[in-house]
Amino acid sequence: MLSSAYGYLQGMKRVVVLLLITFVITAAKPQKVIFDHDGGIDDFVTLLLLLSKPELVSVVGITILDADCRVEVAANTTLKLLHSLGFKDIPVAISTLPAINPFPDIWRWSGLAVDVQPLINYVDPNSLNQNLVQQPGQDFLWELLRTQLEPITIVATGPLSNVAYILTHYGDEAAARIKEVWWMGGALYVQGNVDYPGHDGSAEWNAFWDPAAVGVVWNSSVPIVMVPLDVTNRVPVTPDLIYRFGRQAGHLYSVLAGTIWSKVISWVYERPHEPYFAWDTLTAACLLSRQLCTRVDDLVSYAVVSGPSQGRVVATNQCVAHSSEVSRQRTTAAVMQVDAEEFYDFVLEALKR
């Protein structure tokens, strides 16, 4: 009697220990993400940040859109960065989806300044293509989602075209495979950053590049966390920030990040009223550190799909009348505040690798 009670207790102990081990393993498992970017200078610092925290996120694939870049150059650079840092098995795919409103050519070529950096060019060019996927990026995005066991988070730092494509083609089945889309996009209570003939300036560029894609994503049930201009306007890339990377130049990730961001320094004097912001890097930082960014979860908004405000995301507590096509109204989360110094410190600390 006594011995069976003892055996029972021992058995329970074992169950508890096993449960604890399972819990620890589950808790320590990094979150899988797909990085859907568009090859701007800032996208590459964002890649470094995502790779710098393998205990928190695991990048299972990268898709690149031909938006704020020349996509063949951006793929080159992405592969060189991955190979330089020892991530030769992350697949990279190039989307073939076209612009509705293309980015200015001068911005699209700016990524070349990163591609030519000696620091990432000691890798053997012939080995680079081993993880370049032949399938178009938009189809590969679906392939990645379909073959994962659990729904995956997409970090989208360019237009929403690839996400919209899979929602259009695979509907609810696709929506169910996406955990969340963290999207750098939209301008809610601030001016947009589009200066384009016939446009009223209310839209943010990623949304304006493919306004219909925003409409498709807004009409879907996919959970969205927006990182709009409202909050990215707080985090300019300043000379001081770049100097700080130099002070920790013993770390490869810091040298790379400082070098990459140094390519935008001429904006500081060429466009004093329109700084270069850490748009995309903030998006990844908020995903990695929830306490860094203040987020609201009940923002109701809709997207304007056509006409002079196309690409605008309108919070429904603003009173705007539109005659043009709009998406349905839906609830999303949105990051609305960040302390710039805390953000800079976080990125600098993360990139001490």
Ligand X SMILES: *[C@@H]1O[C@H](CO)[C@@H](O)[C@H](O)[C@H]1NC(C)=O
Residues that bind ligand X (CB under 6 A): 72-73, 76, 115, 121, 125, 212, 215-216, 219, 325, 327-328
Burial 146-173 (b: 16+ CB within 10 A, else e): eeeeeebbbbbbbbbbbbbbbbeeeeee
Q: Which residue has the tokens 């620091």?
A: 119
Measured in degrees and rounded to the nearest 5, phi and psi for residue 298 equal -130, 40
Q: Quick check: 325 and 215 in contact, CB under 8 A?
A: yes
Q: How far apart are CA 64 and CA 108, in angstroms?
A: 13
What are the CA-CA distances from residue 165 to residues 22, 49, 78, 159, 200 (Å)?
Answer: 37, 27, 22, 11, 27
Q: How far apart are CA 156 and CA 182, in angstroms?
A: 6
Write out the two tokens for 115.
């591609």
Measured between alpha carbons, how far apart are the two ends of the chain, in Å? 59
Q: Quick check: 335 and 295 in contact, CB under 8 A?
A: yes
Write out the two tokens for 78.
């992405």
DSSP H helical ranges for 109-151:
112-115, 125-128, 137-147
Write out the two tokens for 54.
């393998």
SS3 for 341? helix
Q: What is the chain's length?
A: 353
Single-letter residue type at 204: E
Characterise 311 by phi-psi region: left (phi > 0), alpha (psi -120 to 50), beta (else). left
